Amino acid sequence: MTVSTSWFEISVADLKRAMNFYSHVFGVKFQVESIHGNDMAIFPNRVGALAKGDSYKPSKYGTRIYLNVESVDEVIKKAMEKDGKVLFPKTSVGIYGFVAEIEDSEGNCIALSSMH
């Protein structure tokens, strides 16, 4: 059996605040939709969303989502401009590049992965 990611949802308490944070940090624009009574801000590539609803509780202790970025340093810089926090500093993982973890505007731990 092969397993791959088909969709992710990042829990948020304040959808507008989270959209502002992610737009600034990652340079993305969202499409807002209501799905099954939940407010969703869909990422441009439609592989995931920021999600607000009764079953969505932001936490830095849940599943780690690794977002591939061009520059971990640049993303950390932009996250700090929006009051994000560095939870795990940029660290080499050898031939796999670099990883880091930031806390977003909602208190989630978001992992970053880059070859630079």
pLDDT given for residue 1 in this prediction: 73
pLDDT given for residue 6 in this prediction: 82
| CATH for the stretch 8-114 | 3.10.180.10
pLDDT given for residue 63 in this prediction: 87
Phi, psi (5° rounding) for residue 94? 65, -130
pLDDT given for residue 4 in this prediction: 67
Look at strands 65-68 and 48-52 and give their pairing.
unpaired
Residue 82 near residue 23 (C-beta atoms within 8 A): no
Parts of the chain with a pLDDT under 50: none
Residue 106 near residue 17 (C-beta atoms within 8 A): yes
CB 15: neighbour CB atoms within 10 A? 20
Q: What is the model's pTM?
A: 0.91
Residues 17 and 20: their CA atoms lie apart, in Å, by 5
pLDDT given for residue 116 in this prediction: 83
Q: Angle at CA 38, nearest 5°, toward 56 and 22?
A: 65
Please write the tens of the pLDDT for every residue from 51-75: 999 999 999 998 899 999 999 999 9
Residues 5 and 69: their CA atoms lie apart, in Å, by 17
Residue type, 87: L
